[in-house]
A and B are shown apart, each in its own frame.
Chain A
Amino acid sequence: MRRHRLLAAAGLVLAAAAARAGDDARLRAVDPAELTYTYAVGGFAPEYTPPAPGSYTLPPIDTVADHALLDADGRPTTLFALTQGRLAVVAFVYTTCIEATGCPLSLAVLHRLDRIIAADAELARRVVLVTISFDPERDTPARMAVMRAFHAPASDWRFATTRSEAELQPLLADFDQPVAKLRFADGAWTGLFRHVLKVFLLDGQSQVRNVYSVGLLDATLVLTDLRTLLLESAAHRRKG
């Protein structure tokens, strides 16, 4: 039954994607490699064991502000209302993304993190995962709810969107998350976005402590960083 629900949810998402992105015959005439960014030769598959948690530091890169959001149930909320001073892994996606090194990768990594965090009492208490759409026009709360159902979070994994472009743009600018509509030569939107995959690690003070992109985004590495920040927090408590 659970498998059937997952397949149904996946079908909804994919059908919606097809209705938008695939209906334009022109898209099929384009070399698929033109639709996505190329970063390196081949994909990224880590062949290393990360350094031990706490054996290194994660100096703050930036600080982000609070921003208005809509949760997957359509209720107004904010970024800080979702994170509540916890460590947060924040990812920006759009649900019809077809870029192998983009949103599907981000969601796959957060899915794995979700299962590991749920099985660890301290991580489950101290960490929240947040997936935010940068496509408010199509990624309605209902669509985000489908995505949530598809992933069936075991930990506190929130799905959110924004009301409008006007609400979205300051959020993207604050996080330094570049996103642009990919257009045909005549200016018509392809239904796809160009974006550099980024996932952000926030500490309890909303400081960005790491940014993961293609070549760095790996669940084991993110977990190592989360545990490093937990050790840092414990050390501060002992000093304080």
Chain B
Amino acid sequence: MTRLVSSRFIARAALAAVLLVPAAARADETCMSPYMPKITGQEDYVYVVTLGIEGVGDGSDKLVTIGANPADAARYGKVISSVSLGGRHEVHHAGFGDDRRHLWVGGLDDSMMWVFDVAPDPARPKLVRTIDSFAKDSGGVVGPHTFFALPGRMLITGLSNAKDHAGKTALVEYNNEGKFIQTVWLPEHAEYGYDARVQPRLNRMLTSSFTGWNNYMTELGKVMNDPEAAKHFGNTMVVWDFHARKPIQTLEVKGAPLEIRWALQPRHNYAFTTAALTSKIWLIEQQDDGTFKASAVADVANPMDVPLPADVSLSADDRFLFVDTFMDGTCRVYDVSDPHTPKLVHTEKIGAQVNMVSETWDGKRVYFTSSLLSKWDKTGKDNEQFLKAYGWDGTRLTPLFAVDFLKEKLGRPHIMHFGQERFYKNQIYAGEAGGLAAAR
């Protein structure tokens, strides 16, 4: 009987593969590359890329690991480990490679990049490679921002260039061993860069646009009060033939469109972004003729207050869009079941400032961090620096734990990624409970 059951199971699986029947997918972690396996179920760790602050701890940038599994009460919401990067490099974003083993981290100031190996001990990522030749390799690109896994390689967006430190920039690819492959500059009249995300079934990539080194390494107040500096922000998104790496359409999206989130469900041929300076949610939607159209579909708070929407997260069922606004430290949750008419369904004050938001694959937990950029963060008592975890039940956010990154002498926390013991140890369990204990 066992053999019969197994044979049927295997035959069904093989048939499903041949027919390309969709594999069961249970939920979220939606902004990660679709070419990279996801961590499902309860995460054990949150890896937090953290900017150093002079006089706080060793003052250096770090990769910090926080315990996130309530089954491990002793480490839940606690700092487990941190790896110092020796100096302040304006670390910002990070991304796993195609096997989700190696985490790449980039510094926006000096274009340094670091690669951590998470697999041997997921509680203590190990620095295994440092790349200090990004600008030279790429032919003058600086400010490595998004790290997006492609099969066999890492796609990295630049924010600026070495020639004038303005906004003209490019997409840069390395192989998984850190060897440079190619640079693809953004097209004329849409030369700013920020995020890049691929929708594989459409062979389309979208890129967004921010600003160059001259602005992001200058105090926010100075930038906003300098009419000349304020001119140097991106107002475009580019639609690419992904396989050919060729731009095929430029869309006008005013006010620095930042994070891009493709819808995940079949036949949902659209993506969302938010424009930081105009405080709008934009829908980028494929038309019947195959081209794309950009439409502003909602204001986020009062745009006249410049609330500065920063990070966004879209749930796996394409229903909820979480939008963080940095200035008022608030997360707004929109029901985007009808992507043309987002409805505000929940508002949560997270802190004095909030920037990044990361939703788990099962959609039950949402994590927030506070820092935007070292020179754009608030000052004085409003310079709160935290990681905060919340539960999400579909209607409201409920606090789970918080880590004060100043009290812990760590710095300014920015992007977050998840780790899980059983994922990296290639172990399975009959049920969720006890998994972490068994793995350790």
Whether A associates with B in a native complex is yes
CA distance A137 to B25 in the complex (A): 32
CB–CB A56/B244 < 8 A: yes
Selected contact of B36 from candidates A39, A44, A181, CB within 8 Å: A39
Question: Using a CB-CB cutoff of 8 Å, which residues 20-52 of chain B contact chain A?
Answer: 20-26, 34-38, 40
- Asked if B438 and A185 sit within 8 Å, CB to CB, the answer is yes
Pairwise interchain contact B246-A56, C-beta atoms closer than 8 A = yes
Beta-carbon contact of A184 and B152 below 8 Å: no
Count class of interface residues, chain A: 35 or more
The reply on B429 being an interface residue by CB < 8 A is yes
In the complex, which residues of chain B have a beta carbon less than 8 angstroms from the beta carbon of A40? 25, 34, 38, 200, 264
Contact at B21–A43, with CB atoms within 8 Å? yes
| Contact A41–B151 (Cβ < 8 Å) | no
| CB-based contact B14/A48 at 8 Å | no
Judging by beta carbons under 8 Å apart, are A50 and B99 in contact?
no
Instruction: Show 26 residue pairs from A and B whose CB-CB distance is below 8 angstroms, ordered by the A residue.
Output: A14-B14, A17-B7, A18-B10, A21-B10, A22-B3, A23-B3, A28-B6, A30-B428, A38-B25, A41-B264, A41-B265, A42-B265, A46-B203, A47-B202, A60-B181, A62-B177, A98-B13, A100-B13, A104-B14, A104-B16, A108-B17, A183-B428, A194-B426, A211-B152, A213-B151, A214-B34
- A17–B3 Cα distance when bound, in Å, is 9
Q: Does the CB pair B427–A185 fall under 8 Å?
A: yes
Are A183 and B36 in contact, CB atoms less than 8 angstroms apart? no
Digitize A79-109: 1 where CB-to-B-CB distance is under 8 Å, 0 elsewhere.
Answer: 0000000000000000010111110110010
B243 on interface, CB distance cutoff 8 Å? yes
CB distance from B18 to the nearest CB of A (A): 5
CB neighbours (8 Å) of A100 from chain B are 13-14, 16-17, 21, 23
Q: For A215, list chain B residues within 8 Å (CB).
A: 34-35, 151, 200-201
Could you say which residues of chain A place their CB within 8 Å of the CB of B316? 41
Q: Does A180 contact B (CB under 8 A)?
A: yes
The reply to whether the CB of B110 lies closer than 8 angstroms to some CB of chain A is: no
Q: Which of A108, A180, A196, A198 has the most CB of B within 10 A?
A: A196
Which residue of A has the minimal Cβ distance to B248?
Answer: A51
Q: Are B175 and A61 in contact (CB under 8 A)?
A: yes
Does A208 interact with chain B (Cβ within 8 Å)? yes
Chain A proximity mask over B397-440: 1 for CB below 8 Å, otherwise 0? 00000000000000000000000000001111110000100110
| A4 at the binding interface (Cβ < 8 Å) | no
Expressed in whole angstroms, the Cα–Cα distance for A55 and B5 within the complex equals 49
Beyond the given A14-B10, A39-B36, A183-B428, could you list 12 further A-B residue pairs with CB under 8 A, ordered by the A residue number?
A17-B6, A28-B6, A33-B40, A43-B20, A43-B22, A46-B201, A48-B201, A59-B181, A100-B17, A211-B151, A215-B151, A216-B151
Q: Are A181 and B426 touching (Cβ within 8 A)?
A: yes
The contact size tier of chain B is: 35 or more
CB-based contact B14/A47 at 8 Å: no
A4-63: which residues lie under 8 A (CB-CB) from chain B? 14-15, 17-19, 21-23, 25-30, 32-48, 50-51, 55-56, 59-62
Chain B CB within 8 A of A68 CB? no
B265-284 interface code vs A (CB 8 A; 1 in, 0 out): 11000000000000000000
Q: Is A178 an interface residue (CB 8 A)?
A: yes
| Docked CA distance A198–B176 (Å) | 13
* Contacting residues, chain B, for A30 (C-beta < 8 A): 428-430
Contact A50 to B17, CB < 8 A, known contacts A41-B265, A41-B316? no
Q: Is A182 a contact of B428 with CB atoms below 8 Å?
A: yes
A196 touches B179 (CB 8 A): no
Which residues of chain B come closer than 8 Å to A37, judged between CB atoms? 37-38
- Do the beta carbons of B175 and A39 come within 8 Å of each other? no
B10 touches A22 (CB 8 A): yes
User: In the complex the two chains form, is A184's CB within 8 Å of B202's CB?
Assistant: no
Write the B156-180 contact mask toward A (1 if CB under 8 angstroms, else 0): 0000000000000000010111010
Q: Could you say which residues of chain A place their CB within 8 Å of the CB of B62?
A: none
Q: Is the CB of A185 within 8 A of B243?
A: no
In the complex, whether A165 has a CB less than 8 A from a CB of chain B is: no
Query: Which residue on B lies nearest to A112, using beta carbons?
Result: B18
**Within B66-93, which residues are at the interface with A (CB < 8 Å)?**
none
Chain B residue nearest in CB terms to A60: B181
- Any B CB within 8 A of the CB of A73: no
Q: Does B231 contact A (CB under 8 A)?
A: no
Chain B residues with CB below 8 A from A211, complex form: 150-153
Which residues between 157 and 214 of chain A lie within 8 Å of chain B, taking CB atoms?
Answer: 176, 178, 180-185, 190, 194, 196, 198, 200, 208, 210-214
| Chain B residues with CB under 8 A of A27 | 6
* Contact present for A216 and B3 (CB under 8 Å): no
A99 to B173, CA, bound (A): 29
B2 within 8 A of A: yes
Q: Which residue of A lies closest to B3 (CB)?
A: A18
Instruction: Write the nearest CB–CB distance from A171 to chain B, whole angstroms.
Output: 16
> Of all chain A residues, which has the CB nearest B153?
A61
Question: Given A21-B6, A23-B2, do A34 and B428 touch, yes or no (CB 8 Å)?
Answer: yes
Chain B residues near A23 (CB-CB < 8 A): 2-3, 6
Most buried by B among A22, A96, A181, A210: A22
A213 touching B182 in the complex, CB below 8 Å, given contacts A42-B25, A100-B17, A183-B427:
no
Complex alpha-carbon distance, A50 and B26, angstroms: 30
**In the complex, are the beta carbons of B264 and A33 less than 8 A apart?**
no
Q: Which listed residue, B3, B34, B152, touches A39 by the CB 8 Å rule?
A: B34
A221 within 8 A of B: yes
CA of A155 to CA of B4 in the docked complex: distance in angstroms? Answer: 34
- Output the least CB separation between B161 and chain A (Å): 21
Give the residues in chain A near B181, CB-CB below 8 Å: 59-61
B11 at the A/B interface (Cβ < 8 Å)?
A: yes
Also in contact, A208 and B152, with CB within 8 A (given A38-B40, A40-B34, A43-B22): yes
Q: Which residue of B lies closest to A190 (CB)?
A: B428
Q: Are B151 and A15 in touch, CB under 8 angstroms?
A: no
B101 within 8 A of A: yes
Complex contact B98–A213 (CB within 8 A): yes
- What is the distance, in angstroms, from A118's C-beta to the closest C-beta of chain B? 19
User: A38: which of B2, B20, B26, B98 is its contact (CB, 8 Å)?
Assistant: B26
Is A196's CB under 8 angstroms from B264's CB?
A: no
In whole angstroms, how far apart are the Cα atoms of A40 and B98 in the complex? 13
Chain A residue at minimum C-beta to C-beta distance from B428: A34
